[in-house]
Amino acid sequence: MSYFIYARKSRKDADLEALGIDVLERHITTLLELAKTLSLPIGAIYREVVSGDSIDSRPVMSQVMAEVESCMWDGCLVMDVDRLARGDTIDQGRVQRAFFYSNTKIVTPNKTYDPANEYDNEYFEFSLFMSRREYATIKRRMQRGRERSSSDGYYVGNIPPYGWRRVIAPDGKHFSLAPDPTESPVLDLMYDLCGNKQYGYQKACTHMAEMGILSRSGRPFTPSTLKGIISNPANIGKVRWGHRKTVRTVKDGKISRSRPHSSDYILADAVWPPRISADLFQRANQPKGSCSTPVRDDRPIQNIFAGLVRCSQCGRLMVRKKAHTKTPYDILICQYTECPTVGIRIDELELALLEWLRNYIDKYELTDALPEDVENVAAKEAIVKNFEKEHETLLKQRESLFDFLEQGIYTKEIFIERSNALERRVKECMEHIISAQNDLHATLALQANRKNFVPRCKNLLGEWGRLTIPEKNSALKVLIEKIMFTKTKRNKKGQDRSDFEIDVFPKVPK
């Protein structure tokens, strides 16, 4: 095994970034020089470009933690230990536990932390604790600065609201807003439709779609997006901050985040002039008749296809429209009026899916591994072993480089040149090993999945009538990745069965 390098930016690197210095590459160069000094083999270099408050919000760190927990590395080279974890106590404990139980060393330019050493372990724990306190202090200071700037009328967001662009404020220290030449006419049209003409959100979206007006994402506006745009007080010269604060709750040991509307928020006069009059703003935000009922997280699922069925025309998830007087049955619909897809009765779609499962079982009785699968696994295992042998040979060559330097055969310049070339080969070989191992593990998991897929389908069909709607939804999500639904013709009068197609993507290859 070898060592890996983990590089991540910090807020204290902002000054260097402003000077045009690539901090990540600078840190990697420093750590590579440290590895050469200590004769440490480098197997991989990880660059974290995503910032986040937790390990789960940083994808590269999540991958590093998984590899450390599986004992893939001898150690980690990092500039400071606080770049590994600066989140809450849970993240701190997770990092410490992963490196301790896997006996993975942490090497910094100032100190090497050996988990097997009691004093190093205590010092590592203390360093993580201090970095966490520093991080909390920095966050608190920055939050107070945002609140103060908002109270003074400056814009503190990173992305400007629709219809505006972010500009430097007159004081030269803060940000303000100015009308965007492209989006501001569309913003005026939105208020004209919803305020003066009293269009509903859906009707206004349809009108703009017919005009060819698209959102920033390149897709037609949706009612929820339109509502958020015209209800933004920035359009009437106001700054709002803290209107939807993130609230964290713990349920079944997992942290869930929500952003409910808050009554305690900052609303101050902005430094930029209003674009819309207060009267038009109020008229545009008046209730527009019946609106869709928001999804309640505290109630059980009422749709067995929740999160599974997608419209084949626009790719969006289809939603349940509950039964009422005119249609006494639940319907699955694509809620965007510009989409030509026609809704389907949920019970009719349920019967079609069950029939698909029965037909699939008849065609796909796989209970044991096929002969070609066994050969495939053996070939991939041989590939992994070949790469591992090559890696061992390269490590021996590294030792020879130091011998040649000590014997005077290589000058320092030649040594560095040969060492860099060898390090690149070692890195490439390690990447090949990881790729081959991942391919092998995926093949083994695929075999296990194929072996267990049909029995799971049979069990589901046998228990289907006794399951509740949430249980059916959970069971389907275990077996099915997604269902693409196609129906473009409405039922004729008296037609009992619909003319539609479903394309089911099971979590096992066809």
Residues 215 and 130 placed together within one structural domain of the fold: no
* Last residue in a domain, options 284, 315, 331: 284
State how many domains the chain has. 3
Is 156 within a domain?
no
- pLDDT tens over the chain, length 510 residues: 678 888 887 655 555 555 566 778 888 888 888 888 888 888 788 888 776 667 777 888 888 888 888 888 889 999 888 788 766 677 778 888 888 888 899 999 988 988 888 888 888 888 877 877 777 787 788 888 888 999 999 999 889 999 999 999 988 889 999 999 999 999 999 999 999 998 988 889 989 988 999 999 888 898 889 999 999 999 999 999 888 887 777 666 666 777 777 888 889 999 999 999 999 999 999 876 545 555 566 678 889 999 899 999 888 889 888 887 777 888 998 887 778 888 899 999 999 999 999 888 887 654 444 555 667 778 888 888 888 888 888 878 877 776 776 677 777 677 667 777 887 888 888 888 888 888 887 777 666 666 777 788 888 999 999 999 999 999 999 889 899 999 988 887 777 778 899 999 988 654
Residues 356 and 498 placed together within one structural domain of the fold: yes
Residues 423 and 477 placed together within one structural domain of the fold: yes
Residues 274 and 314 placed together within one structural domain of the fold: no
- Full domain range(s) for residue 184: 164-284
Q: Cα separation of 108 and 64, whole Å?
A: 17
Is 159 within a domain?
no
Residues 431 and 305 placed together within one structural domain of the fold: yes
Residues 261 and 313 placed together within one structural domain of the fold: no
Is 400 within a domain?
yes
In terms of phi and psi (left: phi > 0; alpha: psi -120 to 50; beta: otherwise), the region of 41 is: beta
Phi and psi torsions of 190, nearest 5°: -60, -45
Is 437 within a domain?
yes
Residues 133 and 67 placed together within one structural domain of the fold: yes
Taking alpha carbons only, the member of 128, 52, 58 closest to residue 90 is 128
* Last residue in a domain, options 252, 284, 316: 284
Q: Write the CATH number for 35.
A: 3.40.50.1390
Alpha carbons within 13 A on the beta-carbon side of 395:
15
Q: Cα separation of 149 and 322, whole Å?
A: 46
Taking alpha carbons only, the member of 160, 212, 222 closest to residue 186 is 212
Residues 270 and 318 placed together within one structural domain of the fold: no
Is 292 within a domain?
no
Residues 137 and 279 placed together within one structural domain of the fold: no
Q: Write the CATH number for 247.
A: 3.90.1750.20
Q: What secondary structure letter does DSSP report for 426?
A: H
Is 294 within a domain?
no
Residues 491 and 358 placed together within one structural domain of the fold: yes
Structure tokens, 326: 């005119």
A 10 A CB-CB count for 121 gives 16
Residues 272 and 322 placed together within one structural domain of the fold: no
Is 438 within a domain?
yes
Is 343 within a domain?
yes
Strand order in the sheet with 3-8: 42-48, 3-8, 75-77, 105-107, 112-113
Amino acid 452 reads N
Residues 108 and 232 placed together within one structural domain of the fold: no
* CA distances to 56, 92, 135, 417 from 88, in Å: 12, 6, 9, 43
Q: What secondary structure letter does DSSP report for 109?
A: S
